[in-house]
């Protein structure tokens, strides 16, 4: 199976920036896309951003457009989420997820359309 591990979370003041990293490895079959999701207690995971590994296109949730940027280092096998101008409502556990190559969108919005998940990293935005 594909193994994913997130890192880079922590406590940050509003207006500051953080860069999350998702290391992926352990699978020889091609992946269609890697996305970032976030979850607060008692709620389902919501899609934040996704990047296609086939055409390199990127997608963002309306709540983070203009503030977050998803990028990839194919040599290191790492997907990054650069988070700028963080707000208290960005507080959540952030997960990266990989979608196995198959028919359909490379970056679906539904978490059930992804096949592999990391354990998550906590981000707390507070003064």
- C-alpha 86/C-alpha 67 separation (Å) is 8
HSE-up of 59 (CA within 13 Å, CB side)? 16
Q: What is the rounded average pLDDT of the residues 49-67?
A: 95
Per-residue model confidence (pLDDT) at position 15: 98
pLDDT tens per residue, range 20-45: 999 998 766 788 999 999 999 888 89
Average pLDDT, the chain: 93
- C-alpha 72/C-alpha 106 separation (Å) is 15
- C-alpha 24/C-alpha 45 separation (Å) is 20
Q: By three-state DSSP, how is residue 113 classified?
A: helix
Q: What is the dihedral of CA 32, 36, 41, 44, to 10 degrees?
A: -40
Q: By three-state DSSP, how is residue 112 classified?
A: helix
Q: What is the rounded average pLDDT of the residues 47-58?
A: 94
pLDDT tens per residue, range 101-114: 888 999 999 999 99
């Amino acid at each position: 199976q594909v193994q994913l591990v997130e890192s880079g979370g922590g406590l940050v003041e509003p207006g500051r920036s953080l860069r999350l990293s998702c290391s992926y490895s352990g699978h020889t079959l091609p992946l269609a896309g890697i996305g970032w999701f976030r979850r607060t207690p008692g709620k389902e995971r919501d899609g934040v951003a996704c990047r296609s590994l086939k055409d390199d296109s990127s997608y963002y949730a309306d709540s983070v457009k203009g503030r977050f940027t998803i990028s990839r280092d194919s040599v290191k096998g790492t997907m990054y989420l650069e988070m700028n101008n963080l707000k208290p409502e960005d507080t959540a556990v952030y997960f990266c997820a990989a979608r196995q190559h198959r028919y359909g969108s490379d970056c679906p919005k539904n978490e059930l359309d992804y096949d592999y998940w990391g354990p998550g990293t906590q981000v707390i935005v507070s003064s």
